[in-house]
Structure 1
C-alpha cells in the first residue's frame, strides 16, 4: 500500500512539473527571441525614413546625404539658361524607394518648358496658371536614380528640403554630373546619423 501511495505521489509531482530546458539553452532561446523582436521593431521604425544621397557620377563619391521621413520630399531648383528665371521640380519618394517627379513650377515661358497640358504615353499632365506663375502636375515619372547635369555658370542647381535646408550642388562637386537617389536607412546608417546629431 505504501508503495502504491508513493507511486501515485510521484505521478502527481511529475504531472505538475513544468519542463524547462537546461539553463544555457534556455537563455540562448530567450536571447534569440528578444533579438528578433528588437530587430523587427527597429526595422519597422527605420522604414519611416529614407536617405537622399547625392554622389559624384565619375568617382561614385558621396557628396551629400540627408535623412528624410517618407512623407517629406525635396525640390531641385535651377535658373533656366534662356529666361534666366527660376524653375522648380518637386520630388517625392515612393514606397519602393524611387524618385517620383510630382510637379514643375516656373514663372516665365522659355525653351523646353511646357506651355500646355501634355499627353505622353500613359502620362497626362495638367497645366495650371497660378497667378503670375505656372504649375505642371500629373507626372507619372518614377526613377531609381536621377542623373543631373549641374550647371556651373547660370543654372546654379540646388536642392531645397522641407526644413528649408538648401544645398548648392555646384559648390559640392567639381564634376558637372551627379546622381541623386533614395537609399533605405539601415541600422548602421541610423546609428551614425543619430550619433552625428548629438
Structure 2
C-alpha cells in the first residue's frame, strides 16, 4: 500500500472512530444516581420532550408533568395535568404568566416555564412513575420506571450529548 492510500485510509479510520465515539447525539439520559452505569438513552422518540406521570400520594389521581428541552440543554416544566389538588401541586399564581384551565381530561396549569438543569427523582412504590415521549400523553406508550429500576432508586434525567456507541449500547 502506498503512502497516499495509507494516509487516506488512516484519515477515514480516525474520522469513523471519532464519529462513533465522540459525543454527538442529543439524548434524554436516565440514570441511577448511585449507579451511573445503569443508564438508558432515548433520542428520536423524545425529540419533542417527555411526560413524567405518577399517582399522587394524597388524592390518588394521576399527575402528568410535561417537559421540553431547551437549546442550552436544560429541561423546562411547561405544563401539569391532574385530577384534583393535593400537596405539591403548583398554584398558577406562583408563576407569572401561568394559567389554569379545566377540561374533560382534568385540570391543567400551563405556561409554568420552570427550568431545571436536570430532574432528580425517586422511583416510587405507590406512585408508579412512568415516562412517555412527546407532548401529548398516550397511556399506551408510557414506560414504567419499575420495569428498568428497583423501587426507591434515585434517578437523574438530563438532556445531554453522547456518542453513537454509547447511545446504541444504552438505548431505552
Mapped to 2, the partners of 1:112 and 1:191 lie a distance apart of: 37
TM-aligned CA distance change 1:169 to 1:191, over 3 Å: closer
Please list every run of at least 4 consecutive aligned residues from structure 1 whose deviation after the TM superposition is greater than 4 angstroms: 23-29, 190-193
Q: 5+ unaligned residues in a row in structure 1: which ranges?
A: 1-22
The answer on whether the counterparts of 2:130 and 2:142 sit within 8 Å (CA) in structure 1 is yes
Which one of the candidate residues 17, 31, 35 is aligned to 1:55?
Answer: 31
Mapped to 2, the partners of 1:175 and 1:168 lie a distance apart of: 13
Counterpart for residue 134 of structure 1: 107
Mapped to 2, the partners of 1:86 and 1:149 lie a distance apart of: 17
Higher alpha-carbon Rg: 1
TM-fit CA distance, 1:74: 1.0
Question: Equivalent residue of 1:124, what SS?
Answer: coil
Matched, 1:91 2:91: no
Q: Please, what TM-score do these two structures have when normalized by structure 2?
A: 0.73
Counterpart for residue 189 of structure 1: 166
TM-aligned CA distance change 1:54 to 1:61, over 3 Å: same
Q: 5+ unaligned residues in a row in structure 2: which ranges?
A: none
What is the alpha-carbon root mean square deviation over aligned residues?
3.4
Higher helix share: 1
Q: Which has the higher contact order (CA 8 A, sep 6+)?
A: 2
Which one of the candidate residues 127, 138, 150 is aligned to 1:155?
Answer: 127
Counterpart for residue 11 of structure 1: none
Aligned length: 163
Question: Equivalent residue of 2:59, what SS?
Answer: coil
1:23-53 deviations in Å (ceiling 9; x for gaps): 9569858x859x87x99xx79xx96x53222
Q: Please, what TM-score do these two structures have when normalized by structure 1?
A: 0.64
